[in-house]
Amino acid sequence: MSVTKNIPESTQTEACSLARRIQSTIISNTLTRARWEQHIADCRKYHFQAAMIPPAWVKDTVQALRASGIRTASFVDFPYGTMTSTGKAYETARLVEAGVAYLKNASGVGAVGIATPEQITFLRRIAPPHVGVKASG
């Protein structure tokens, strides 16, 4: 039985419109394949705008979501922010080669959780034109 069977069409349309604005996030250094597969299935089921996943899963996620219209997003040096600038630049470049769709300044949590114009300008400058930049915090 369809979950949406008894929900008015206008409400379904609003829910779909909202889901397309959500980046479904899974941040874990102990992510298992089974949990990742469930995350991808949920992203497909609800048609989220993007799947935010740990860097090691970007390539698999891009492949799993190919032709779905769902983007792949990831993060660099989270949650501690202790990498060197060179390390961050290297990891960012690798995530762009793997097919990530967004760069984001922060999670909105912690000491550096507020987006600044300088951070966003820097990310926009280093990101290829096809990679979005998200200000967070």
Residues 6+ apart with CB under 8 A from 112: 81, 106
End-to-end CA distance of the chain: 40
| Average of per-residue pLDDT across 57-65 | 94
Q: How many CA atoms lie within 13 A of 124 on its CB side?
A: 9
| Average of per-residue pLDDT across 30-57 | 94
| Angle at alpha carbon of residue 42, lines to 8 and 95, rounded to 5° | 135
What is the Cα–Cα distance from 93 to 96, expressed in whole angstroms?
A: 5
Percentage of the chain with pLDDT > 90? 26
Domains of the chain: 9-134 (3.20.20.70)
How far from 68 is each of 10, 37, 43, 95, 108, CA to CA, in Å? 23, 15, 10, 20, 28
The answer to whether the predicted template modeling score (pTM) of the entire model surpasses 0.85 is no
Continuous segment of H or E residues that includes residue 91: helix 85-98
pLDDT band per the 50, 70, 90 thresholds, residue 9: low
Q: What is the pLDDT of residues 64-122, one digit of tens each?
A: 999 999 999 888 887 777 888 899 889 888 888 788 877 777 765 555 567 788 888 98
What is the Cα–Cα distance from 50 to 22, expressed in whole angstroms?
A: 7
Q: What is residue 136's predicted lDDT score, i.e. its pLDDT?
A: 77
What average pLDDT does the chain have?
A: 83
What is the Cα–Cα distance from 133 to 92, expressed in whole angstroms?
A: 12
